Amino acid sequence: MAATRYRRFLRLCEEWPLDQTKKGRDLGAFIRQRVAQGFREGESTQITDPEKCDQMYESLARIHSAYYKNKYPRLRNTSFTGVTVEECRMVLATDNMKQMEEMKKGMWKKLREKLTGKPEEVTKEYV
C-alpha cells in the first residue's frame, strides 16, 4: 500500500509546476523536498500513519487542482489594492525582493559594505 501512496505523491510532484522566479521559496520545490524526506526508502517506506498521509495527499491535490478557486470564484482578479496577479508575481519574485532589501538599506550601511566588502553584522549594541 505504501508503494501506491508513493507513486501518487510522485505523480503529484511531477504535475506541480516550479516557479523559477521564487528561488528557495517555491511551494513546488518544497513539496518535492518533503516527499523525498517522507519516502526516503521509496516504495518500501513504512508509513506510520496512513490516514494522515492520505489526508495530506488529498489536501495537496485539491490545492493543485484549484478546487477552492473553482468552488469560490472571484468577481475580479485583483486584490483590495487593485494590484493584478501578474503585478503580484513580479513583486514577489526573488530578484525583485533582493532589490527591495537593497533599497531599504541606509546610506551608511551601503557605504560601510562597500568599504569593508561584506554585509554588516547586526549586533545587540546597535539594536
Instruction: Give dist(CA 13, CA 101) in Å, integer.
Output: 32
For residue 69, which phi and psi values (nearest 5 degrees)?
Answer: -65, -40
What average pLDDT does range 62-67 have in this prediction?
94
- Please report where in the chains the cell 519574485 appears, as a residue: 93
**Where along the chain do its domains lie?**
1-73, 75-119
Supply the pLDDT for residue 114.
73
Cβ-Cβ contacts under 8 Å for 1 (sequence gap 6 or more): 47, 50
What are the φ and ψ backbone dihedral angles of 10, each rounded to 5 degrees? Answer: -65, -40
Whether the predicted pLDDT of 33 surpasses 60: yes
Model pLDDT, residue 103: 67
Give me the chain's average pLDDT, please.
Answer: 80
What radius of gyration do the chain's Cα atoms show? Answer: 21
Q: What percent of the chain has pLDDT over 70?
A: 80
**Once rounded to an integer, what is the mean pLDDT over residues 68-84?**
82
